[in-house]
């Protein structure tokens, strides 16, 4: 990929130019068939999937946890996910890791709180989760100890999560549509299974269960949920981002600017900085295609 881009650059093709950008995507897909991520795949995935963002409270000790997430249930404090054998996940093999991210179950069979977006990681490919596993394994270990979550009663009783899981399974099972278009399908994968955008942008119901994983119509601001107030990013022309085009979305996810020149708000700024900005234009274009497609009504 790097070689291809360098060659393109040598030929002085500016990929930010619209026509050349389309040409670049076209050549990429139909002739070169370049896979979604090439260089530093594990690192890019770990950033876009939010591993860095949610497990880093201090940039000098990445992935060491202690990042605080305030919710109406109390404050969640993320764990150390470096491979320290005592305070991190050093004793885990890939099977334990894969089970944790795809099913939200710890190696000692305890359920994770849904603040950890395992629901979205469920369909993450084995290849991609292995790339993340290997990347995190390659990082320096940190001995920072895990802090307990500070949750209100009864949410501090972890066993209740089994009941929530049953409710979620029985009442709100989302049907994922089959997408035949390869670009849109890969965009959907990046949006849902890697970027887990729905963790914030999907409307929720009782016990914060997501009603429909494919619905990115946002959550209105309310007084009783600190995580509320998330914009509608469906393709709706008036309520969503239907008036944006692919280049607007690519530029936004790379630099944080909306088409009107306003900069992104609050948590999304760190998601761009520590996540989507790591993706190349090609991958961001796939995301844009999905967001503007009718699969994102």
Partner 1 sequence: MFKIFAILVTIISIFCGNAFSQDAENIIKYRKNIMKSIGNHISIIALNLKGKVDISSDILPHSKALHITLAAIDINKTFPEGTSNSSGVQTTALPKIWEEKKLFIDKMQESINKAKELVIAAEGNDKKLIAKALGALGKSCGSCHNEFREKKN
Binding site residues, partner 1, CB under 8 A? 14, 16-21, 218, 220-221, 229-231, 247-248, 250-251, 254-257, 259-266, 269, 273, 277
The encoded tokens of residue 210 equal 């997501």
Minimum CB–partner distance for residue 45 and partner 1 (Å): 22
Minimum CB–partner distance for residue 121 and partner 1 (Å): 26
Minimum CB–partner distance for residue 155 and partner 1 (Å): 25
Q: What's the 3-state SS for 113-141?
A: CCCCCHHHHCCCCHHHHHHHHHHHHHCCC
The encoded tokens of residue 94 equal 């890939």
Residue whose CB is less far from partner 1, 44 or 233: 233
CA 38 – CA 36 distance, rounded (Å): 7
φ/ψ of residue 289, rounded to 5: -60, -40
CA 258 – CA 267 distance, rounded (Å): 15
Residue whose CB is less far from partner 1, 94 or 263: 263
CA nearest to 208, candidates 103, 73, 97 = 73
CA 163 – CA 207 distance, rounded (Å): 10
**Rounded alpha-carbon distances, angstroms, from residue 190 to 89, 116, 140, 204:** 25, 17, 27, 21
Minimum CB–partner distance for residue 208 and partner 1 (Å): 17
Minimum CB–partner distance for residue 89 and partner 1 (Å): 31
Residue whose CB is less far from partner 1, 228 or 293: 228
Minimum CB–partner distance for residue 200 and partner 1 (Å): 11
Contacts of 183 (CB under 8 A, 6+ apart): 25, 29, 285, 286, 289
Residue whose CB is less far from partner 1, 92 or 244: 244
Minimum CB–partner distance for residue 63 and partner 1 (Å): 22
Residue whose CB is less far from partner 1, 67 or 257: 257
Residue whose CB is less far from partner 1, 35 or 220: 220
Residue whose CB is less far from partner 1, 243 or 269: 269
Contacts of 100 (CB under 8 A, 6+ apart): 92, 106, 107, 112, 118
């Amino acid at each position: 990929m790097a070689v291809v881009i360098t060659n393109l650059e040598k030929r002085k093709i500016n990929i930010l130019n619209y026509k050349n950008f389309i040409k670049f995507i076209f050549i990429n897909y139909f002739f070169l068939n370049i896979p979604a991520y090439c260089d530093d795949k594990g690192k890019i995935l770990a950033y876009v999937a939010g591993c860095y963002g949610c497990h880093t409270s201090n940039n000098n000790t990445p992935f060491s946890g202690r990042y605080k997430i305030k919710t109406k249930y109390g404050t969640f404090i993320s764990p150390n996910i470096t491979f320290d054998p005592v305070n991190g996940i050093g004793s885990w093999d890939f099977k334990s890791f894969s089970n944790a991210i795809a099913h939200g179950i710890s190696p000692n069979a305890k359920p994770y709180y849904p603040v950890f977006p395992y629901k979205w990681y469920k369909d993450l490919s084995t290849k991609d989760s292995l790339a993340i596993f290997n990347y995190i394994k390659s990082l320096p270990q940190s001995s920072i100890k895990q802090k307990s979550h500070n949750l209100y009663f009864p949410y501090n009783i972890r066993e209740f999560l089994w009941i929530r899981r049953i409710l979620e399974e029985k009442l709100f099972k989302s049907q994922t549509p089959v997408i035949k278009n390869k670009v849109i399908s890969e965009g959907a994968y990046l949006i849902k299974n890697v970027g887990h955008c729905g963790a914030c942008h999907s409307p929720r119901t009782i016990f914060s269960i997501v009603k429909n994983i494919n619905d990115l119509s946002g959550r209105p601001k309310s007084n009783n949920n600190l995580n509320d107030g998330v914009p509608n990013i469906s393709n709706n022309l008036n309520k969503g981002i239907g008036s944006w085009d692919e280049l607007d979305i690519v530029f936004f996810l790379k630099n944080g600017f909306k088409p009107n020149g306003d900069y992104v708000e609050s948590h999304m700024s760190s998601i761009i900085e520590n996540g989507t900005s790591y993706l190349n234009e090609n991958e961001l274009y796939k995301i844009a295609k999905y967001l503007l497609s009718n699969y994102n009504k």
